[in-house]
Amino acid sequence: MDKAQLDAAFSELYRTHLRDVYSYAYYRVGNHHDAEDLTEQTFLQAYRHFERATAESDGRPLRPWLIRIAHNLAANLYRDRARRPQSSLEETEPTRPARTIHTTEDLVEGRDELARILEGVTRLPDERREALIMRFALGMDNREIARALGKTDGATKVLIHRAIKQLEEMVAA
Amino acid sequence: MSDVAPMDFEARVRAALAPVDPPPTLADRLEARLASLTETAIEELDALEISAMRDPRNWVRPVIAAAVAATAGAGLLVLRLRSRGTRRPRLRLPGR
């Protein structure tokens, strides 16, 4: 692949996955300011290593690689600041209500539940939280999540199952 | 235990963790950062004295700088051309 093809491929990756990386970053760090920084750093780092990643990907999608960069950068961010994610997620409204909600009361109740779910997500252990963000915010399948987390497909399936179960118990409590 | 069916609960988690659109300013800033990579490489080229180029040992850095400039410049150009041709989605961010 020559330079022009690489550049075209990178810009395609950028356009296709900017929202994925930003969504991951937002739910991972819990606020827009850090999410923007994390997204920016992720793409700059991806740009520097894109040629090698493309060569080593053997034709597989690069989204897990991209999310893994964001994952590592986020881990470094918290290591540097020695703190947990901010809790501003629990102060935000869900970006869209569930489609089955119709009445005003149901809408309020539904929003309360979505807020409880978001709050529960922030209290999950890091790895379980990340797996749920990748599954539900980014729509990644088990194989993609496994590659992003550096786990086997089987371990990832168990991880997601346990994360959902723990979250459900938190919300129901 | 919750009285919500598993599939229903997963649908609610999906609704709670809805994708978040990035602010348009983020894309602009990203492209500017790529441009700065290009400028750094170009300045590296400008800073070299012609006389120093007579020594082959000094050829490595300008070649690398030229390669970085060409790569970053072409990448930026593609990004900007495509961003002009496509309308970015509007913000629907919570809390903004």
Write out pLDDT tens, residues B10-60: 999 999 999 999 998 998 888 777 666 655 655 655 665 555 566 666 666
Tokens of A117: 């779910």
Q: In sequence order, which residues have a C-beta less than 8 Å from that of residue A78 and are 6 or more positions away?
A: A84, A85
Query: How many Cα atoms sit within 13 Å of A58 on the Cβ side?
Result: 0
Interface of A with B in 102-131 (CB under 8 A): 113-115, 117-118, 121
Q: Identify the pLDDT of residue A128.
A: 96
Lowest mean pLDDT among A81-85, A153-157, B35-39: A81-85
**In A30-141, where does DSSP find H-type helix?**
32-57, 63-81, 104-123, 126-132
3-class secondary-structure state, position B88: coil
Are A27 and A121 in contact, with CB atoms under 8 Å apart?
Answer: yes
Are A121 and A133 in contact, with CB atoms under 8 Å apart?
Answer: yes
- Smallest CA-to-CA distance from A137 within A13, A22, A23, A15 is with A23
Q: How confident is the model at residue A98 (pLDDT cuts 50, 70, 90)?
A: very low
3-class secondary-structure state, position A151: coil
Q: In sequence order, which residues have a C-beta less than 8 Å from that of residue B79 and are 6 or more positions away?
A: A11, A14, B31, B34
Task: Give mean pLDDT, residues B67-91.
Answer: 54
Interface of B with A (CB under 8 A): 1-4, 6, 9-23, 26-27, 29-30, 33-34, 37, 70-72, 74-75, 77-79, 82, 86, 89, 92-96
Interface of A with B in 78-107 (CB under 8 A): 88, 91-99
Q: How confident is the model at residue A99 (pLDDT cuts 50, 70, 90)?
A: very low
Q: How confident is the model at residue A5 (pLDDT cuts 50, 70, 90)?
A: confident
Task: Assess whether pLDDT exceeds 80 at residue B77.
Answer: no
Q: Identify the pLDDT of residue A92.
A: 47
Rounded to whole angstroms, how far apart are CA atoms A112 and A90? 10
Query: How many Cα atoms sit within 13 Å of A168 on the Cβ side?
Result: 19
Task: Assess whether pLDDT exceeds 60 at residue A94.
Answer: no
Which of A1, A14, A63 should one mutate to test binding to chain B, selecting the residue with the greatest count of B CBs within 10 A?
Answer: A14
A18-35 pLDDT, tens per residue?
Answer: 999 999 999 999 899 999
Rounded to whole angstroms, how far apart are CA atoms A133 and A39? 15
Note the pTM of the prediction, 2 decimals.
0.70
Residue of B nearest to A28 (CA): B17
Residue of B nearest to A3 (CA): B71
**C-alpha pair distances (Å), B67 with each of A3, A75, A115, B63:** 9, 32, 49, 6
Q: Identify the pLDDT of residue A119.
A: 93
Which of A6, A13, A24, A26 should one mutate to test binding to chain B, selecting the residue with the greatest count of B CBs within 10 A?
Answer: A26
Using a CB-CB cut-off of 8 Å, the residues of chain B touching A10 are 75, 78
Whether A19 and B21 lie within 8 Å, measured CB to CB: yes
